[in-house]
Structure 1
Amino acid sequence: MPSARTRTILIAAVVIMAAGGVTTAYAAGPQDGPGTRPAAGAKEASVRGAADFQMPFAPDKDVRHFEFEARAAPYTRPFPAAPHGLPSDAAGTVKVSHYLARQNTTVHFEAAVDCMITSPGYAALTAKVVRVDDLVQDWLGKRLGFSIQDAGADTPGRTRDRVGFSWLFGNVEEDQDGNAIEGKVGTCQAPAPFASVTKGGYTVKHAELTPPPPGAG
């Protein structure tokens, strides 16, 4: 079995390979260099919209609501293993509100988008919680995963969009005693969109991942 140091080196290598094989630091800042945004006229991936949704097999009087305003921002989040950033870097905001019928109160929190990958009609993104209500103070700083299915044009009063999130049905690990614990969410990790939208909807604009900026390889 490889040592912890060897595993760290292997993980870093995989990250760099996934970013396009780039091993040289990208010297330009996140706002002033090529590759930070798609070229003029290029399509930009994004997710926008707001909707209520219903939990599968557990309909109740609780109302859950997600609002997304997210866009691709490739190569804007450098870190040591990928000093130029990644093609999946993203920016924007996720706003969550959850009406708790039993407590007759609504909980709100807001998260900053850090990663997004799209395909036609579908997006997976992650965001770190930056603002919370008192009831969910322990969520501050957590990274959460979201998935969105844009099912296209709807008939009046009816939507086929769907949404998923990381903290309820999935992302379960076992500790050393075999107890179920919540796993850590990595960038762009999210389950399939499992919950049906009941009001509102989402628009996913797909774009292919942006190649590394010129001169970065």
Structure 2
Amino acid sequence: MRKTIMAVLTAGAVLAGTAAPVSAGQTKPRPTEPSLVGSAKTYRPEGDDVRFTFDAHGLGPDARGTFRVSHYLGAEGGWFAGDIDCLIVGGRTAVVTGVITASSLPEFIGVRRGMTVFDDGRRDRVGYSWVLDPGSTESVPKCLSSAPFEWVESGDFKAVEWLPIQGPRRS
């Protein structure tokens, strides 16, 4: 019995020593604001090339940054880009909105779109407010989007949570 306990303790000590990604004395810096950064291509079995890029920083309506979305099937499709006007990050999920400032489809300039990212390492997901009505030129309210329903095929997003208050401690 004693040999079993010692073997388990030794294995635990070895694993604990090798699992630490930061060397002793170093701590991971705490973020000073929420952010959503990265680029990715969604999985589309039909061959569509759908891509999202975000560089968003800041909390709520004080957020700033840019976004770009493109959707092509062969030579057909379009793109739009704009300025971020809201970012909320909770855990690994980020909701961002922004107003389109440039587009291959001029009717979308000035429209606010919402996008959601679930940051799950290399298995990220993304959603967007126009899923049910892609041709709509109606703006969504700030900080509003859909569930992240599309799978990322390549690329990566990084959502960093930061809130001015700390949540409850979990044991």
After TM superposition, the score normalised by the length of structure 1 is 0.57
Structure whose residues are more often strand by fraction: 2
The answer for unaligned runs of 5 or more in structure 2 is 1-29, 166-171
What is the aligned length?
135
**Residue in 2 that maps onto 1:147:** 116
**d(CA) in 2 for partners of 1:43 and 1:199?**
28
Among 24, 35, 40, the residue aligned to 1:51 = 40
> What amino acid maps onto 2:47 in structure 1?
K
| Alignment check: 8 A CA contact 2:31 2:160 kept | no
Map 1:165-184 onto structure 2 (within 5 A): 165-169=128-132, 184=139
**Residue in 2 that maps onto 1:215:** none
**Residue in 1 that maps onto 2:73:** 100
After TM superposition, the score normalised by the length of structure 2 is 0.71
Among 143, 148, 154, the residue aligned to 1:193 = 148
The answer for unaligned runs of 5 or more in structure 1 is 1-40, 75-86, 153-158, 172-180, 211-217
**Residue in 1 that maps onto 2:102:** 131
**d(CA) in 1 for partners of 2:79 and 2:31?**
35
**Residue in 1 that maps onto 2:47:** 61
> What amino acid maps onto 1:126 in structure 2?
T
Question: Aligned to 1:189, what secondary structure does the other structure show?
Answer: coil
| Alignment check: 8 A CA contact 2:33 2:162 kept | yes
Among 93, 115, 137, the residue aligned to 1:122 = 93
| Alignment check: 8 A CA contact 1:170 1:191 kept | no
Say which one has the larger Rg. 2
**Pair 208,183 (structure 1): closer, same or farther in 2 beyond 3 Å:** same
- Measured on the aligned residues, the alpha-carbon RMSD in Å equals 2.2
Structure 1 residue ranges (4+ consecutive) displaced by more than 4 angstroms after TM superposition: none
CA apart distance, 1:160: 0.9
| Alignment check: 8 A CA contact 2:108 2:137 kept | no
**d(CA) in 2 for partners of 1:183 and 1:54?**
27
Percent identity between the two aligned chains? 32
| Alignment check: 8 A CA contact 2:84 2:96 kept | yes
**Pair 184,105 (structure 1): closer, same or farther in 2 beyond 3 Å:** closer
CA apart distance, 1:170: 6.7
